[in-house]
Structure 1
Amino acid sequence: MTATEILEKLVSFASVVGTPNHDIVAWIRDYLKAHNVEAAVFMGPEGDRSNLFATIGPADVPGYILSGHMDVVQAEAIEWTTAPFQLRRDGEKLFGRGTTDMKGYLAAALAAVPQLAKAKLKRPIHLAFSYDEEAGCRGVPHLIARLPTLCAAPLGAIIGEPSNMRAVLAHKGKAAARLTVRGRAGHSSRPDLGLNAVHAMASVLNAAIEHAENLTHGPFEQAFEPPYSSLQVGTIAGGKAINIIPDLCTLELEARAISGVNPDSLLAPIRQKAQTLRAAGFEIEWEEVSAYPALALPCESALARLLEDMTGQTPIGAVSYGTEAGLFQAAGVDAIICGPGDIGRAHKPDEFILTSELAACQSFIEALGARCAA
């Protein structure tokens, strides 16, 4: 099958983040088996979605991981020109949800499998396909934890997020949380008898806004845009009617941290502020929604030099979006970002990738295989 044909099949699976992914996992496993490559499938704790790991070549020798996620963000059909989970070709453009982020990379890797399988690799190439990356990299930690039992310590992991096939050395870390404040309902004419959860949440919101402003004053890391850590409240909801004292309010916020800063630490002042509401009788629940560390790969590392040599381009210092790369690095595996497509097309209606981008990625992976066979 060509990369385009594989992509057409992958797009047809509506593997939306947070939903079961058995169908796409089973298809990939069967495809690999048809090329004499055995894939291990590991069910996550959710019980209805899995990671997949496969090795081409000797597993007991250090090699390279090709890492990508199988999930995609939601797609509202009304916003699309055509059905989002049916691949549509218009010249060189291939439209469909996940074509760029990031089933195009998976398709290119799978299209390269026949060539890799014939190459008699001396160093292995591993395929590590995860779930629920779009929910804050929830699936891949379970896969990374198994790596010591699956293969020799890897030389590096190439995370195929869309980067126009130019290597990326760094991204910010992220932590996201959901705060729930519970008060006491009542009639609005007697506010003295209730506990207004929305009013209470206002003090937390103000603390978050003030903290976000303070972060703009540094510390700085000029490779990023913006060059400082950041924090924002993304959603807030509470109340049922104008004449009812609201007994419930929820707030979701996230922090993005430059290298060397723990993103969880950026949320700590907001959590501490929320805890002070207990003294007034409110119940507080703080739930971590997602978290992943920053990526910071030195430009002089062997993996960075390899990617620069193979792509013929100097790696980009940093990008604003986050990936699973930081989790691989935190586990002791050098990681770098390099994949087909442009991040500017991701998460939008009529997302697309170019056939030339698929071909370039497949050629890159096959060239990596040639090096591993030399």
Structure 2
Amino acid sequence: MNVVQILERLIGFPSVVGTPNGEILDWIVGYLASHGVAASVLPGPEGDRANLFATIGPAERPGYILSGHVDVVPAGEEGWLSDPFQLRQDGGTLYGRGTSDMKGFLAAVLASVPALRAQRLERPIHLAFSYDEEAGCRGVPHLIRHLPELCAPPLGALIGEPTGMRGVRAHKGKAAARVVVHGQSGHSARPDQAANAIHAMVQVLSRAVATAESLAEGPFDPVFEPPYSSMQIGTLRGGQALNIVPDLCVAEIEARAIPGIDPASLLEQVRAVADALRTDKIDVTWEPLSDYPALSLPSDAPLATLIEQLTGLPTLGAVSFGTEAGLYQKAGLPSIICGPGDIGRAHKPNEFVYVDELAACQKLIESMGAALA
């Protein structure tokens, strides 16, 4: 199978984030087995989702990880010109949910397997495919914990998120949480007999806004846009009618941190305000939604130099979106982002990737194999 045929099969699996992924993993396991590569399926605690790990070459020697996620965001938005879960080709352009983010990379990796097998690698290339990346990198930590029993400590990890095949050395970290305030409902004419959940939530929101304003004052890292850590209130809901005192208010808040700052720490003051709201009439819950660290790879790191040599392009300092790379780096693995497609095409109708981008990615992977052969 060539890379387009493989991508067609991958797009055909509606592996939406937060849903079971057994079907797509079963197909990948079968494909790898047909080329003599055994894969380990590593179930997550959810019970219906799993990560996948496979090795080509000697697992007892240090090598490189090719990392990607099999989940995609939902495709229910208007504007699709074809079924988002059926690959549509128009000349050199391939349309479908996940073509750029990031089944195009997975297809290029799988298409490279026959060549990698034929190269008789002296150092291995590992395939690490995760689940629920789109929900805040929830699956890959469980995979990373298994690495010591699966292979020798790797030399580094290449995360194939869409970067136009340019190596990227940094991104911000992110932490997000859902705040739920439970009050007591009543008639708006007698607010003294109720507890307004929205009024209570205002204190949490005020702290989040004040924190966002203070973060804009620094510290700064000029490789990012904006060059400072940030915070925002992303969703807010509560209330039933104007004349009913609302007994529920829910807010979702995120923080994005430049390297060197723990993103979860930026939410601590907001959580402290939320915790202080509790009374005999008010209850508050704080639910973490995601937490992954920033990525920062020096420009002269061996992995950055290798990717520059293989792509023929200088690496970029940073991107604005987050990836699993920070988690691999936190586990002690130098990490870099490089993959086909463009993040600007992702999460919108008629997501696409160019055939030439897939070919360039496949060439990069096979060249990496040649360097290890």
- TM-score bin (small chain): over 0.9
Task: Tell whether 2:235 aligns with 1:235.
Answer: yes
Task: Tell whether 2:157 aligns with 1:157.
Answer: yes
Percent identical pairs in the alignment equals 62
Return 5+ residue gaps in structure 1 as ranges.
none
Aligned residues: 373
In structure 1, distance between residues paired with 2:99 and 2:303: 26
After the TM superposition, list the runs of 4 or more consecutive aligned residues in structure 1 that deviate by more than 4 angstroms: none
Cα contact 1:239–1:247 (8 A) shared by 2: yes
Cα contact 2:78–2:349 (8 A) shared by 1: no
The TM-score with structure 2 as length reference comes to: 0.99
Moved more, 333-342 or 202-211: 202-211
Cα contact 1:187–1:244 (8 A) shared by 2: yes
In structure 2, distance between residues paired with 1:2 and 1:201: 54
Task: Tell whether 2:121 aligns with 1:126.
Answer: no
Return 5+ residue gaps in structure 2 as ranges.
none
Corresponding residue for residue 256 of structure 2: 256
Which residue identity lines up with residue 157 of structure 1 in the other structure?
A: A
Which residue identity lines up with residue 143 of structure 1 in the other structure?
A: L
Cα contact 1:77–1:84 (8 A) shared by 2: no
Corresponding residue for residue 54 of structure 1: 54
Task: Tell whether 2:102 aligns with 1:82.
Answer: no
In structure 1, distance between residues paired with 2:77 and 2:170: 34
Corresponding residue for residue 21 of structure 1: 21
Corresponding residue for residue 355 of structure 1: 355
In structure 1, distance between residues paired with 2:316 and 2:77: 35
Which residue identity lines up with residue 266 of structure 1 in the other structure?
A: L
**Alignment partner of 1:52: what SS?**
strand
Corresponding residue for residue 39 of structure 1: 39
Which residue identity lines up with residue 356 of structure 1 in the other structure?
A: D
Where do 1:83-98 residues align within 5 Å?
83-98=83-98
Deviation of 1:231 after TM superposition, in Å, equals 0.2
Deviation of 1:77 after TM superposition, in Å, equals 6.0
In structure 1, distance between residues paired with 2:152 and 2:61: 5
Task: Tell whether 2:275 aligns with 1:283.
Answer: no
Deviation of 1:281 after TM superposition, in Å, equals 3.6
Deviation of 1:280 after TM superposition, in Å, equals 6.9
Deviation of 1:78 after TM superposition, in Å, equals 3.6
Corresponding residue for residue 205 of structure 2: 205
Task: Tell whether 2:372 aligns with 1:372.
Answer: yes
In structure 2, distance between residues paired with 1:348 and 1:220: 31
Which residue identity lines up with residue 222 of structure 1 in the other structure?
A: P
**Alignment partner of 1:79: what SS?**
coil
Which residue identity lines up with residue 71 of structure 2 in the other structure?
A: D
The TM-score with structure 1 as length reference comes to: 0.98
Deviation of 1:148 after TM superposition, in Å, equals 0.4
CA offsets per residue over residues 13-41 of structure 1, 9 Å max, x none? Answer: 00000000000000000000000000000
CA offsets per residue over residues 135-189 of structure 1, 9 Å max, x none? Answer: 0000000000000000000011000000111100000000000000111111111
Deviation of 1:279 after TM superposition, in Å, equals 4.3
In structure 2, distance between residues paired with 1:286 and 1:136: 17
In structure 2, distance between residues paired with 1:366 and 1:40: 22
| Aligned alpha-carbon RMSD (Å) | 0.9
In structure 1, distance between residues paired with 2:333 and 2:156: 6
Task: Tell whether 2:111 aligns with 1:111.
Answer: yes
